[in-house]
């Protein structure tokens, strides 16, 4: 089950301890969009997002949005926050993560995947040997097949609680 298991589990992106990631040698963040950075049904970038993007940059992180989505809003969010972007990612396949590493000039050992789904974000990150960081989904709204996978995820996490 190792490849289904996240290395770290946080309530949301804002709870991620950026200092401790830097101490682990991480300097690239490959971040999912839908239900990780923004609720699936909105595209409102808030002051909190701008502050998080600023904090990430100040910590020396390069950030790339890696999204299976392809709508214009994905690009708008990336542009607004100053992030790189790989849309139409087809996670958990490795191509998009590899492309993001190239955009950020980072080695696999220097990168963490941040996402809300075990079967796309975490499996894909683990398969490439990246540090994997699971966050709780921001909203219950999701695609039907994702909702089915959620019940499996709950069994995989087996009562594991996010870090405070
Ligand atoms: Mg997601």
Q: How far away, in angstroms, is 24 Cα from ligand 1 center?
A: 24
**53-89 pLDDT tens trace:** 999 999 999 999 999 988 888 999 999 999 999 999 9
Q: How far away, in angstroms, is 59 Cα from ligand 1 center?
A: 24
**Domain contains 163:** no
**Domain contains 93:** yes
Q: How far away, in angstroms, is 131 Cα from ligand 1 center?
A: 17
pLDDT, position 146: 77
Q: How far away, in angstroms, is 102 Cα from ligand 1 center?
A: 22
Q: How many domains does the chain have?
A: 1
Please report, to the nearest 10 degrees, the dihedral formed by the alpha carbons of residues 73, 79, 82, 87 taken in order.
50
Across 115-123, average pLDDT: 96
Q: The domain spanning residue 127 has which CATH number?
A: 3.40.50.1000
Q: How far away, in angstroms, is 106 Cα from ligand 1 center?
A: 23
> Helix 72-81 and helix 47-58: axis angle, to 10°?
60
């Amino acid at each position: 089950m190792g490849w289904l298991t996240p290395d770290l589990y946080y309530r949301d992106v804002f709870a991620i301890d950026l200092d401790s990631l830097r101490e682990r040698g991480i300097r690239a963040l490959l971040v999912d969009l839908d239900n990780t950075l923004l609720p699936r049904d909105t595209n409102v970038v808030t002051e909190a997002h701008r502050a998080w993007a600023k904090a990430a940059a100040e910590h020396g992180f390069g950030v790339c949005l890696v999204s299976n989505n392809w709508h214009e809003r994905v690009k708008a969010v990336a542009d607004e926050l100053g992030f790189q972007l790989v849309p139409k990612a087809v996670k958990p396949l490795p191509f998009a993560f590899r492309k993001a590493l190239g955009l950020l000039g980072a080695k696999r050992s220097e990168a963490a995947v941040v996402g809300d789904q075990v079967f796309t974000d975490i499996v894909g990150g683990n398969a490439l040997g990246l540090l994997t960081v699971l966050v709780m989904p921001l909203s219950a709204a999701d695609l039907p097949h994702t909702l089915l996978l959620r019940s499996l995820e709950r069994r995989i996490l087996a009562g594991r609680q996010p870090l405070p």
